[in-house]
Amino acid sequence: MKKRSGKKAEAKPRTRVRAGRSTNAVILAGFMGAGKSSVGRALGQRLNWVFEDLDDRIERCEGRTIAEIFRDSGEAEFRRDEHDALKQSLDELRRGDSRIIALGGGAFAQEQNASLLRSSDVPTVFLDASIEELWQRCSKQASESRTERPLLRSRESFRELHESRQKHYRKASIRVDTGGRTVDSVAAEIIRKLGLKKIEIRTEQGDVE
């Protein structure tokens, strides 16, 4: 091997996942527009795992949309529903089901949820992108779906909330940048970094779009 000219090699960032453990689930976290749902579905297709959006579970359990829960019951009630849904999902994972779970943008910033995730030992992935790209993605999605999102009323409020959540997102097992990248390339990086394995026969019904 050639000697380096006096320069120290840069240390590679560590992936905080316990070695020797077979992973059958992954939690995707990140700000709105980071690509949690699209990357989750791509992972489901590649691995033959079930993909679940935690917000969808909340809506099924409550019989109301997320917007209706916020409007009629407030954020505190929504956060309780969110915590219960996450606990239920993690309890189900103990059966050995293989699943990708996408969290809502604020779920990972709630300490009671973070505590649950730490005790579960399920690896978490922080999907990140620049604030400008997140804003553009969210604005495009809202326009195409013709839905009004309160966070998009002010670019400054959007930025402030994003910054306030960064310290929580950075506690995830790994960080993956989604900026300017295809969904497939992001999914491939997650699979490689976490050593995820495809299953041939699924025993659980769910979304693999």
β-pair type (99-102, 124-128): unpaired
Residue with tokens 């606990």: 87
For residue 30, tell me if it sits in a domain.
yes
Rounded to 10 deg, the angle between the 66-73 and 54-62 helix axes is 60
pLDDT given at position 12: 43
State the DSSP H helix or E strand holding residue 165, giving kind and residue range, or none if neither: helix 155-169
The residues, any chain, with a CB within 8 Å of residue 108's CB and separated by 6 or more, are 29, 30, 114, 117, 124, 126, 165, 168, 169, 172
- Each residue's pLDDT, cut to its tens digit, for the chain (209 residues) gives 433 444 444 444 444 544 334 578 999 999 999 999 999 999 999 999 999 999 999 999 999 999 899 999 999 999 999 999 999 999 999 888 889 999 999 999 999 999 999 999 899 999 999 999 999 998 888 777 666 666 677 888 999 999 999 999 999 999 999 999 999 999 999 999 999 999 876 555 555 44
Global pTM value: 0.83
Q: In the chain, how many domains are there?
A: 1
- The strands making up 99-102's β-sheet, listed across from edge to edge, are 50-53, 99-102, 25-29, 124-128, 174-177
For residue 201, tell me if it sits in a domain.
no
Question: Using the 8-state DSSP alphabet, how is residue 207 labeled?
Answer: B
pLDDT given at position 15: 45
For residue 14, tell me if it sits in a domain.
no
The residues, any chain, with a CB within 8 Å of residue 189's CB and separated by 6 or more, are 176
Residue 113 in contact with residue 107, Cβ under 8 Å? Answer: yes
pLDDT given at position 132: 94
CATH number of the domain at 62, please: 3.40.50.300
pLDDT given at position 16: 52
Residue 133 in contact with residue 30, Cβ under 8 Å? Answer: no
SS3 23: coil
Q: How many other C-beta atoms lie within 10 A of the C-beta of residue 189?
A: 17
Find the domain containing 100 and state its range: 25-194
Residue 58 in contact with residue 66, Cβ under 8 Å? Answer: yes
For residue 189, tell me if it sits in a domain.
yes
For residue 45, tell me if it sits in a domain.
yes
pLDDT given at position 150: 64
End-to-end CA distance of the chain: 47
For residue 148, tell me if it sits in a domain.
yes
Amino acid at 1: M
For residue 29, tell me if it sits in a domain.
yes
SS3 38: helix
For residue 150, tell me if it sits in a domain.
yes
